[in-house]
């Protein structure tokens, strides 16, 4: 499937493939959820990213991320967490019916589960968004065609106690480097949307202890 056809032709297929996991994962507890916003920027399919505010505390400040955050006791489920956090961070309201499903959860250094929620948000101008400056420094989109080009795909090997432990994807040559949990979720998304066009070259012997 070509990138310019993904948004038009991929939704029904993705919803079908994700349906079982979504029903199972949506009701299970998790520490946090992020929204993976699949949008169209000037007619080009893309993923929307944020640059976390440098004023935040913790090790992830200034990193590229998908909008999202910790679950609130008032959230009905993981989908509501992702949608609520997206609205709080970006002022972007995504109707629940635009959610395609839940991708494979990832885990941070503390082994806490982070649930990625894939949604089609339609045509979007990232510059028109008004992100919360306390949480987000910048919003940008990377076209799927860019992410699918081999020259924009990298990887990093990690060692533990002097021996190879795992390899993580990295996506390069955009406004900012996409790495860590966000790169793993990006890879999951590309494997779903463009399984024939995206062939990850990475192997991992253990789960990455990243945050």
What residue has token string 């793993």? Answer: 184
Whether the predicted pLDDT of 49 surpasses 90: yes
- CA 187 – CA 185 distance, rounded (Å): 5
How large a percentage of the chain has pLDDT more than 70? 85
Whether the predicted pLDDT of 146 surpasses 80: yes
Measured in Å, how far apart are the chain's first and last C-alpha atoms? Answer: 33
Would you state the pLDDT for residue 131? 95
Beta bridge partners of 102: 117
* 16-20, 105-109, 136-140: segment of lowest average pLDDT: 105-109
Mean pLDDT, the chain, as a whole number? 87
- CA 111 – CA 107 distance, rounded (Å): 5
Confidence grade of residue 27 (pLDDT, cut at 50, 70, 90): confident
Instruction: List domains and CATH numbers for the chain.
Output: 3-143 (3.90.79.10)
Nearest Cα to 34, choosing from 98, 118, 90? 118
Would you state the pLDDT for residue 208? 46
Supply φ then ψ for residue 134, to 5 degrees: -75, -20
Nearest Cα to 69, choosing from 186, 60, 1, 9? 60
How many CB atoms sit inside 10 A of residue 18's CB? Answer: 20
Instruction: Report pLDDT digits (tens) over 53-77.
Output: 877 665 566 799 999 999 999 999 9
- CA 201 – CA 158 distance, rounded (Å): 15
Whether the predicted pLDDT of 28 surpasses 90: no
What number is the average pLDDT over the span 128-153? 95
Please give the model's pTM, rounded to 2 decimal places.
0.88
Confirm if 92 and 41 have CB atoms less than 8 A apart: no
Assign 3-state DSSP to the chain and report helix, strand, coil percentages, each to 5.
30, 30, 40
């Amino acid at each position: 499937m070509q990138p310019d056809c993904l948004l038009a032709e991929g939704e029904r297929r993705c919803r079908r493939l994700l349906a079982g996991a979504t029903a199972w994962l949506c009701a299970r507890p998790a520490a946090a959820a992020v929204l993976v916003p699949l949008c169209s920027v000037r007619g080009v399919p893309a993923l929307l990213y944020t640059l976390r505010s440098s004023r935040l505390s913790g090790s992830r400040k200034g990193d590229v991320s998908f909008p999202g955050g910790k679950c609130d006791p008032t959230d009905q489920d993981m989908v509501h967490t992702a949608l609520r956090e997206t609205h709080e961070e970006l002022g972007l309201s995504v109707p629940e019916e635009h959610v395609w499903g839940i991708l494979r959860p990832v885990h941070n250094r503390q082994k806490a589960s982070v649930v990625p929620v894939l949604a089609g948000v339609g045509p979007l101008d990232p510059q028109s968004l008004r992100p919360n400056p306390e949480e987000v420094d910048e919003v940008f989109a990377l076209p799927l065609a860019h992410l699918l080009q081999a020259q924009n795909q990298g990887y990093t090997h990690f060692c533990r106690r002097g021996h190879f432990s795992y390899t993580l994807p990295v996506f390069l040559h955009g406004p900012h480097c996409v790495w860590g949990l966000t790169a793993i979720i990006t890879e999951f998304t590309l494997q779903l949307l463009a399984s024939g066009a995206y062939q990850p070259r990475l192997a991992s012997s253990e789960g990455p202890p990243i945050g």
